[in-house]
């Protein structure tokens, strides 16, 4: 193992809970910009991420969770960064008015991109396509073949510049009835390799709606990591697996792949900071899971409460 790789692994921070900063920013818009350029620390990229929000705007469990409180947590953060969602951000059982409220809230928070999950498609392709023009964030998937106007709306990837770093983001999903499906891992690898080698991205992120671990040959986040070459960070969704922090896995070249995934219904927000040296080689990782609205007690106690509260549906 070379020294940069050893440093990268050794600097995983297992901090959890909320943090108080001496200089909180005034608005969520100051955290995550809608434009494709972000202010960034000279040698670091910060990624804020959510998954399986399921349309929850208000608090979900004991005055915790939901997009409103995630926005409050973002306002406390001192470092600007990408804001991404790995899918199921909508509740397909709600009416169109509620869907528009969710989109409006995500716009106000400054989301850069979101994966198309099964809950977004419960409304039908036409309704998702009708909502898409209201979204100030990219709607991503690289392995579904859509019909009608949705085909023109969903993009296989987006590229965001953060300081001196170029970041490519793509997304994949599992099989859904009525949607033409292409092999998720093959599709993700194709786009990731292009982002890394053709577009010269310094960091490649995959928003994965494949699930944590699936039986047999069904694709999942672990198989995606193991069979990838150019993906640096996987943000997962579509699972009831609750992770206290992120994991470092290995790809087929034996390089590190970070797997980050938080709780359902907006009960967690993840923050992943990847550090680089002057030659843009990764040399440090700091991850933290935040429980929005967490009462003034330890993260451990709040996390234990989440473990007891199983999601109604993921």
What confidence tens digit (pLDDT) does each residue in 7-53 have?
Answer: 344 343 333 322 222 222 233 344 444 444 555 567 899 999 999 89
Whether 64 shows a pLDDT value over 80: the answer reads: no
Chain centre distance of CA 248: 16
Per-residue pLDDT of 229-254, as tens digits, reads 999 999 988 766 666 667 888 999 99
What is the per-residue pLDDT for 304? 52
Banded model confidence at residue 193, pLDDT cuts 50, 70, 90: very high
Task: Calculate mean pLDDT across residues 193-208.
Answer: 97
> Which letter does DSSP use for residue 157 in this model?
E
Confidence class for position 295, pLDDT limits 50, 70, 90: low
Task: Dump pLDDT digits (tens) for 81-92.
Answer: 899 999 999 998
- Give burial (CB, 10 Å; 0-12/13-18/19+) of 14: exposed
More confident residue, 142 or 281: 142
Instruction: Give me the mean pLDDT over the 281-287 stretch.
Output: 87
Distance set, CA 215 to CA 108, 119, 166, 177, 288 (Å): 39, 22, 35, 19, 29
Position 155 scores a pLDDT of 97
- Decide if pLDDT at 118 tops 80: yes
65 or 9, which is more confident? 65
Residues 311 and 264: beta-carbon distance below 8 Å? yes
More confident residue, 10 or 104: 104
Distances (CA, A) of 113 to 21, 70, 77, 220: 26, 16, 19, 21
Domains of the chain: 3-15+35-308 (3.60.21.10)
Whole-model pTM: value is 0.84
DSSP H or E run through 207: strand 203-209
pLDDT at position 6: 38
The percentage of residues in the chain with a pLDDT greater than 70, rounded to a whole number, is 78
Cβ(208)–Cβ(49) below 8 Å: no
For the residues 193-204, what does the mean pLDDT come to?
97
Average pLDDT score over residue span 56-66:
79
Average pLDDT over residues 68-75: 90
């Amino acid at each position: 193992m070379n020294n940069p790789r050893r440093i990268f692994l050794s600097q995983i921070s297992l901090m959890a809970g909320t943090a108080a900063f001496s200089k909180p920013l005034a608005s969520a818009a100051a955290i995550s910009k809608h434009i494709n350029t972000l202010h960034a620390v000279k040698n670091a990229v910060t990624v804020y991420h959510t998954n399986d929000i399921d349309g929850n705007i208000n608090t979900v469990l004991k005055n915790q969770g939901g997009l409103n409180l995630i926005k409050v947590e973002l306002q406390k953060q001192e470092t600007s960064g990408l804001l991404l969602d790995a899918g199921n951000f909508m509740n397909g059982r709600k009416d169109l008015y509620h869907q528009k409220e969710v989109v409006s809230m995500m716009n106000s928070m400054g989301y850069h991109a979101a994966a198309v999950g099964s809950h977004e498609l419960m409304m039908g392709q036409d309704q998702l396509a009708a909502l898409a023009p209201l979204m100030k964030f990219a709607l991503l998937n690289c392995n579904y073949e859509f019909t009608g106007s949705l085909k023109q709306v969903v993009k296989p990837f987006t590229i965001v510049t953060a300081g001196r770093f170029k970041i490519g983001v793509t997304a994949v999903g599992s099989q859904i009835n009525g949607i033409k499906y292409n092999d998720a891992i093959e599709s993700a690898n194709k786009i990731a390799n292009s982002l890394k080698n053709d577009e010269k991205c310094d960091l490649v992120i995959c928003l994965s709606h494949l699930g944590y671990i699936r039986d047999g040959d069904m694709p999942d986040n672990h198989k995606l990591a193991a069979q990838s070459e150019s993906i640096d960070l996987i943000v997962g969704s579509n699972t009831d697996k609750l992770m206290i922090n992120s994991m470092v896995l290995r790809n087929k070249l034996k390089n590190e792949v970070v797997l980050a995934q938080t709780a359902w219904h907006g009960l967690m927000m993840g923050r992943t900071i990847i550090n680089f040296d002057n030659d843009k080689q990764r040399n440090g990782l700091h991850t933290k899971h935040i429980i929005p609205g967490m009462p003034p007690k330890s993260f451990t106690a709040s996390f234990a409460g989440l473990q007891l509260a199983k999601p109604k549906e993921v």
